[in-house]
Amino acid sequence: NVRHLMIKPLAFLVASLLALSITACSAAPNPSSTPIIESGKFTSASGEVIRAEYREDQTVLLTLANGETKTLRQAVSGSGVRYVMGADEWWEHQGGATLSQNGTVVFSGKLTP
C-alpha cells in the first residue's frame, strides 16, 4: 500500500513537469499587443526592403519584402543588437542589418528613411 501511495505523487510530478516543459516551448509573443519602441526600414543594394519594429518585450517584428512576418527574441550580442528565433537571426549594427537563416545571410541592408 505504501508503494501505491508513492505512485500518485510521482505521476503528479511527471504530469506537472510535462506541462511546464510545454509552456516553456510556447510560440513567440503576440506582436500586435506589444508596444513599439522604435521602427526602421532596411534596404539592400538590390532594393529589397525589410521593416523592423522593435518592441518593449525585447522582440523585433520583421516584415519581409514578400509580406511574411517573423518575430524574433533579443539575444546576447558582442556588438550591435541581435535577435533570434529558431533558424532565423536578425543582427543590427551601426545602421546596417543582416537576416540569416540556418547560418546563411539571406538579406543585408542599410537603414533608410
- Domain residues for the domain of 75 are 31-112
pLDDT, tens digit (0-9, with 9 covering 90-100), for 2-35: 444 444 554 444 444 444 444 344 445 555 678 9
For 36-48, the pLDDT digits (tens) are: 999 999 999 999 9
Q: Is 20 left (phi over 0), alpha (psi -120 to 50) or beta?
A: alpha
Residue 40's SS3 state is strand
Residue 41 included in any domain: yes
CA distance linking residue 108 with residue 71, whole number of Å: 18
CB atoms within 10 A of CB 2: 5
Residue 17: the pLDDT is: 42
The CATH number of the domain holding residue 104 is 2.40.128.200
Task: Quote the number of domains for the chain.
Answer: 1
pTM of the model: 0.70
Q: What is the pLDDT of residues 48-105, one digit of tens each?
A: 999 999 999 999 999 999 999 999 999 998 888 999 999 999 999 999 999 999 999 9
